[in-house]
Structures are given as C-alpha cells and as structure tokens.
Amino acid sequence: MENVIILGTGCAGLTSAIYSARANLEPLLLEGTQPGGQLTTTSEVENFPGFPEGIDGFMLMDNMRKQATRFGARFEQDLIAKIEVEDGVKVLTAESGKVYKARTVIIATGAGPRLLGIPGEKEMWGGKGVTTCATCDGAFYRNMDVVVVGGGDTACEEALFLTRFASKVYLLHRRDELRASKVMADRTIAHEKIECVWDTVAEEVLADDDGMMKGVRVKNVKSGEVSEIDAKGIFIAIGHIPNTKFAADILKLDDEGYIVSDHESGVHTEVPGLYVAGDCSDHVYRQAITAAGMGCRAAIEAERWLAEQPALAEA
C-alpha cells in the first residue's frame, strides 16, 4: 500500500510530489492523458518566479518532474475511474482495471478550458494566437488588436486586463447583453479600448502564410451576416471543465464540478486523508504558481495527517 498517491502531474501534482518525496513518503504519481498538464502546451511562461527571462512551459514541467524524481517520486500512466474508502484506506480503481491502495491521496487532476470547437482553434493553439489566459499571455499582444469570446465575469475580466497591452479588444458575445455582474459589465462596456460585438459567434480562426493568427471569421446569429475581424490573438473565456467526474460519488462538488474544500487550508476534503490541489478546486486564480502553492499545502497536510494515524501506518 502506498503512503501517498498523487493524481495529476501538473504544477500542483509535481509540487506535492517534491514535498512528499522529500518527507520520505515515496509518492506514486498517476499521470492521466496529458502528462505535465496544460502548461506543457504553453510556449513561454513569463510569470513564474525564478525565471527572469521566462521559460518554456514544457521545460518548466520537465524540470519539476526531474526534481520530484530526484527525491524518490515514482510515476505510472493510468487514469482513475473511481475512489472508495475502506477502513480509512483509499481504494482507487483505474480505467485499466488496476486497483491502487493508499493511506492518503492528493487529487491534482486540473481543469481543461472549454473551447469553441471551430476550425483553426487547435492549429493556432499555444503561441500562435489562440489562448485561454490573459494573465498568462496578454503581454505578448502589446499594441495589437485582440478578440475575447464570452459574456460572463471572466470574459469581462480578461478583456479589461488586455486593455493594458492591446491596442483594441473586441468582445464577442452571442447575446445582446453581458451575463456578467452589472458593475463588471458597465466597466467593460464603458472602456474606450473595448468594442462589444453583440449577437455574434466566432466561426473560424484565420491564419496567415506563416501559420500565425491574422483574424477571426464571425457570424451574426440574428442576421446571418458573416464578416472578418483582423486580430492577432483570440482569448476564449467561456469557462473551464474540471477533471473531477471520478470523484463525484465521494466528494462534494460545486455546480460547475469543482471539488469543494471547506477547510481553512483550502486543500482538505470531507474525507480524512483525501486532499485536493490546483485547478480541479481553484476556479478563481488558475495560475501555475497558485497551483504549486496548493500542492505544497496538500503534501504538508498529508504528511501531518499520516503522522497522526499509527494504526493506518501499520496497515
């Protein structure tokens, strides 16, 4: 039986691994379908502390993995389908049919951005114009025109943040009014750099001869009119989908599927010895550094809890 099993190998999972491995807990990490998490698709990370010149996203995650491995963390590729608890022991059943048992589990399975599913979106993802994070990538679009898709608070926050860099921000929304809070909506509509494009959906991300984004083909849902917006970047802000379905039968999830932590640490669940870290629980910040911080807390809490469970330690 394992002392610690960590689900996910993004910033939260790998940071948990580094801390729990250094505590001699020999954690086992189970990688899902995207080892390294979303950051591996980011060409350059400029806001992670310690890298004044920035660092490639894949390289950052590879460095974290090597650091965890150095202290004794182990890795297997499997996807968990169900978690159960038997006499304090966490029993994890994988889609492969394999069963894992652990004294503690840290869930760091992340969340995936909800995408539009239109032509050009995947082709220009990751440094070519399509992104879902203004905080991460906004600075790359200084003095350029960009598009934001969405109508909620997140879309408005993205649009307002981008006004610090972009020359103009087009906010595309399929309705004729924003779903955001009144204060946020009023602030967005009033901003001189933001142009709201109502009743409109994006139909295709357009590329130039070099494979970089040059614009967006859009359609008015009322008139059916099709037109193009010249822009170098498109920020999709229509929500995220947390990877938490496997935990729905044992943990409390909010209306959007995020795991709920009612403890002041932010990483405890209602099941003793079962912890959460990163974007599968955090739907507010969703940054690499905040995920890493949660991973650190989860590992420390797991270590402390194990020290208080002599009976379980002997199981």
Residues marked as catalytic = 133, 136-137
d(CA 85, CA 124): 43
Q: Which of 300, 295, 302 is nearest to 15 (CA)?
A: 295
Three-state secondary-structure class, residue 268: strand
Neighbouring-strand partners of residue 83:
92
Three-state secondary-structure class, residue 249: coil
Token readout for 229 is 């917006």
d(CA 271, CA 265): 14
d(CA 134, CA 237): 9
Q: How many CB atoms lie within 10 A of CB 174?
A: 16
Q: Are 259 and 253 in contact (CB under 8 A)?
A: yes
Q: How would you write 156-224 as a 3-class SS string?
A: HHHHHHHCCCCCEEEEECCCCCCCCCHHHHHHHHHCCCEEEECCEEEEEEEECCCCCEEEEEEEECCCC
Element (H, E) at 58: helix 57-70
Residues sharing a CB contact under 8 Å with residue 284, sequence separation 6 or more, in sequence order: none
Q: Are 47 and 23 in contact (CB under 8 A)?
A: no
Token readout for 296 is 């650190």
